Structure 1
Amino acid sequence: MMLMQLLRTISLSLLLAVAIAVPAQEKRVHRHGDLSDHVHDDTHGYQYDHEAFLGKEEAKTFDQLTPEESKERLGKIVDRIDTDSDGYISHKELHQWIKHRQRRYIEENVDKHWKEYDLNKDGLVAWEEYKNTTYGYYLDEEFDDVDDKASYKSMLARDERRFKAADINRDGIATKEEFTAFLHPEEYDHMKSIVVKETVEDIDKDGDGLINLEEYIGDMFTPENSESEPDWVKTEKNHFVEFRDINKDGFLDAAEVSKWILPGEVDHADNEAQHLIHETDADKDGRLSLDEILEKAQFLSVSTLTDYGTLLSDVHDEL
């Protein structure tokens, strides 16, 4: 299955010199970007698997290690995943580990931005705090200083709509949990309608409220310089016709988009656990030994895995 970062942000680069712009992953809903932002296609490398295995925030400096260092440190991480200490990693243990890293990424991401928005340090983030921190200067100028005024106004309205949906008691103030729902609506059942609506809005270029095949592929792939169509694009076209377009009318409506993108419909952490075991389990006994993992150390740990110092601090704190 191809994993594209489905929903990319409208650029806030013009704001950076004046206001604190919300990072891309907060501005738009991700299909399941909390596992990795990379394409899940092993023919183009293992970045997706690296980040899913050890978390995106730590997946930065592991390529600086020698092969011997990386294997030694990978072995220590394996010890942590093996919760029953039987010397093997089961599908259940690997699934729980990936979900743990996934949740930690969300928690750390929210914590990182909480301080930016809780201006009065009362342990809450009001809509006015968020709005003024993100758009303050341009609100005063009514967005006259930006080239695409309509896009910024639309972005503000969309943020407000999402904030109100996350604000369960409708008091205009977000608790930590409500703010998490605002930043990561894909994780909350009561935010599902927002996830679907934003997805359709982002991909639906002709504004008819539906996603056709051209729009579906165009959000993932735009050929450059007469670039030939990769095989994964052909696969995605087939997925659209065979699986996504359930009623076979040539379009994806809101209900079909919901079945396509929402976590809970598909457990991506579970799928990734199955994939890692399939690629690493040499004796096909359904579990991974340390030797099997070290044999596939490149698959799991080369290039983009982790700032191991950060990970070890995390492990130490949790133990």
Structure 2
Amino acid sequence: MQLLFLGMLALLVRVTFAVPAQEKRVHRQPDLSDHVHDDAHGYQYDHEAFLGKEEAKTFDQLSPEESKERLGKIVDRIDTDKDGFISHAELQNWIKHRQRKYIEENVDKHWKEYDQNKDGKIAWTEYKNTTYGYYIAEEFDDVDVDDKVSYKAMLTRDERRFKSADRDGDGIATREEFTAFLHPEEFDHMKGIVIQETIEDIDKDGDGQINLQEYIGDMFTPEDGESEPDWVTTEKKHFSEIRDINKDGFIDASEVAQWILPGEVDQADNEARHLIHETDQDNDDKITKKEILANWNMFVGSQVTNYGEDLTKRHDEL
């Protein structure tokens, strides 16, 4: 009996880690960090928003001297016209390039995992069996009910998203369709899925809209005796003054669309403007390598260095 239990546990652990984070929730544009975007008190917002909490730690592994040296090589790459200055357009284009590269690498990683028959396509059955096959097998009917229901809900959700990404409806995803499945926020025809999944994630009472408690609860759950941080007060104001456009006390689907969809907020444009504003010492709306290196801690914590990974790569790999 003990061996049977251990065998089931091992399979369940395998399944738990088989479900990619990308399929659990879509990426949302704003509110990318629990920290206030206040450079006067540090760059943690930028680090978490553009690096992710774990990737942000990469920067801490490098000495300031090594970071500056490698950042200087990246600056040379950004300066495409070789005039010695980094313009807003060059910086914005570089950030977008790094965003695209991140997505491509992420798709490559999962493609190898799910294209079981190596035919250059991924069928829904391949994805389903690879991700959920062990868990939904009949022999696991005695597994914890709540856990099983949770995975079945995730399976249903993934199937819905896969069908939306599968534009020709043949049940088989091309690379572009699989990219839309993993990163729906990047595709116009997936906007409905992005909105629907965001509401489902935050809407705890199931009424199809988001109230203030649900909105704040998605970002912050106080521990016993913990006081409410200032940024929560700010977010409450954002809810009532910005998010809730019709002032009915809820964020509905149309308001969620204006809140989260790419295109409404160009993060690459905003980040480029922010970096230039904070770095441009002579106010000429462009920055030099010297100005960038003087603010190296801000740059290595932003998308300009591709989640910190570029600083650990050789120059010719960028």
* TM-score under structure 1 length normalisation: 0.86
* 8 A Cα contact 1:277 1:288, kept in partner: yes
- The one-letter amino acid of 2:89's match is K
Q: Which moved more, 1:47-56 or 1:266-275?
A: 47-56
Q: Deviations over 1:113-168 (max 9, x none)?
A: 10110000000000000000000011213664244222111111000000000000
Tell me if the contact between 1:49 and 1:300 (Cα under 8 Å) persists in the aligned partners. Answer: no
Query: Which protein has the bigger helix share?
Result: 2
Q: Sequence identity, in percent?
A: 72
List per-residue Cα deviations over 1:268-300 (Å, max 9, x = no partner): 111111111122112222111111111111222
**Aligned twin of 1:135:** 132
Instruction: Give the whole-Å Cα distance in 2 for the aligned partners of 1:36 and 1:220.
Output: 10
Counterpart in 2 of 1:312? 315
Query: Is the counterpart of residue 96 in structure 1 residue 97 in structure 2?
Result: no
Residue in structure 1 matched with residue 108 of structure 2 by the alignment: 111
Q: Distance in 1 between matches of 2:66 and 2:96?
A: 26
8 Å contact kept, 1:58–1:310: no
| Structure 2 residue aligned with 1:145 | 143
Q: Deviations over 1:36-61 (max 9, x none)?
A: 76756245642553577789997653
Query: Counterpart amino acid of 2:37?
Result: D
CA contact (8 A) 1:143 1:152 kept: no
Q: CA–CA distance in 2 between the matches of 1:167 and 1:302?
A: 36
1:26 Cα offset (Å): 3.3
Alignment size in residue pairs:
302
Query: Which SS does the other structure have where 2:313 is aligned?
Result: helix
What is the distance in 2 between the residues matched to 1:105 and 1:57?
15
Whether contact under 8 Å (2:37, 2:46) holds in the other structure is no
Matched, 1:49 2:46: yes
Whether 1:254 aligns to 2:253 is yes
Structure 1, unpaired ranges of 5+: 1-12
Amino acid at match of 1:70: S
Measured in 2, the distance between the counterparts of 1:122 and 1:263 equals 32
Q: Which runs of 5+ in 2 are unaligned?
A: 1-9
Q: Residue 175 and residue 302 in structure 1: after superposition, are their counterparts in 2 closer, same or farther (change >3 A)?
A: closer
Distance 1:312 1:143 in 2: 53
**How far apart are the structure 1 equivalents of 2:184 and 2:275?**
27
Q: Secondary structure at the match of 1:121?
A: coil
C-alpha contact 1:55 1:306 (8 A) present in aligned 2: no
Q: Deviation of residue 199 (structure 1)?
A: 0.5
Tell me the CA shift for residue 111 of structure 1.
0.3
Match of 1:3 in 2: none
Q: Is contact 2:50–2:301 with CA below 8 Å preserved after alignment?
A: no
Match runs of 1:92-241 below 5 Å: 92-141=89-138, 144-146=142-144, 147-241=146-240
The corresponding residue for 1:288 is 287
Give the distance between the partners of 1:46 and 1:295, measured in 2 at CA: 15
Contact 1:166 1:182 in 2 (8 A): yes
Deviations 1:79-130 (A, max 9, x none): 1111111111111111111111111111100100101100000000000000
* Preserved contact between residue 59 and residue 305 of structure 1 (Cα < 8 Å): yes
- Residue aligned with 1:160, SS: helix
Residue type of the partner of 1:81? I
